[in-house]
């Protein structure tokens, strides 16, 4: 007999949840969130960020590395994903080279993921976009 605690998924589909923070002032904190859609669990596999200063144009050599820390909380499990806020570069890569999680992270359907960012720059405000890259995991009735 199958263990009812083990989830069996029938289909997977690539998906990205995005959380944006506009004009995050020096020394300020902000909270954003995404809600995992009710149709499927979400398996997070990679994370990426994009940052700019006042929407200025960037080249490869002038990419912004924001002085920002990130804390992620999964309300579905009630857990933080880290013991304390970490620099964005420790948990997020750039779009062309995303951070690959050491193992997939499951967020259950209909849960909310809270993200708190803190700008620890003394003088710079950032526009920050965080991408949570993974796949929707669908479970259909038997």
Domain-by-domain residue ranges, the chain? 11-138
What is this structure's pTM? 0.91
- Residue 73 is predicted with a pLDDT of 97
Residues 57-77 as b/e (b if ≥16 CB within 10 A, e otherwise) read: eeeeeeebebbbbbbbbbbbe
pLDDT at 100: 97
Per-residue pLDDT for the chain (142 aa), expressed as one digit of tens each? Answer: 556 666 778 899 999 999 999 999 999 999 999 999 999 999 999 999 999 999 888 888 889 999 999 999 999 899 999 999 999 999 999 989 999 999 999 999 999 999 999 999 999 999 999 999 999 999 875 4
Q: Which of 66, 74, 72, 93 is nearest to 84 (CA)?
A: 72
Main-chain dihedrals φ then ψ at residue 77, nearest 5 degrees: -105, -15
CATH code: domain 11-138 is: 2.60.120
The Cα 92–Cα 70 span in angstroms is 9
**pLDDT tens per residue, range 98-128:** 999 999 999 999 999 999 999 999 999 999 9
Can you give the pLDDT at residue 136? 96
Please report where in the chains the tokens 């020096």 appear, as a residue.
Answer: 26
């Amino acid at each position: 007999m199958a263990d009812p605690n083990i989830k069996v998924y029938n289909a997977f589909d690539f998906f990205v949840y995005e959380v944006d923070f506009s004009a995050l002032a020096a020394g300020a904190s902000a909270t954003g969130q995404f809600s995992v859609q009710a149709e499927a669990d979400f398996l997070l596999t990679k994370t990426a960020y994009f940052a700019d200063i006042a929407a200025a144009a960037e080249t490869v050599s002038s990419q912004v590395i924001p002085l920002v820390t990130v804390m992620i909380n999964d309300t579905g499990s009630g857990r933080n994903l880290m013991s304390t806020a970490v620099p964005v570069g420790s948990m997020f890569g750039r779009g062309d080279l995303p951070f690959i999680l050491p193992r997939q992270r499951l967020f259950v359907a209909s849960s909310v993921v809270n993200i708190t960012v803190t700008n620890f720059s003394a003088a710079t405000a950032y526009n920050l976009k965080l991408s949570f890259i993974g796949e929707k995991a669908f479970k259909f009735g038997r």
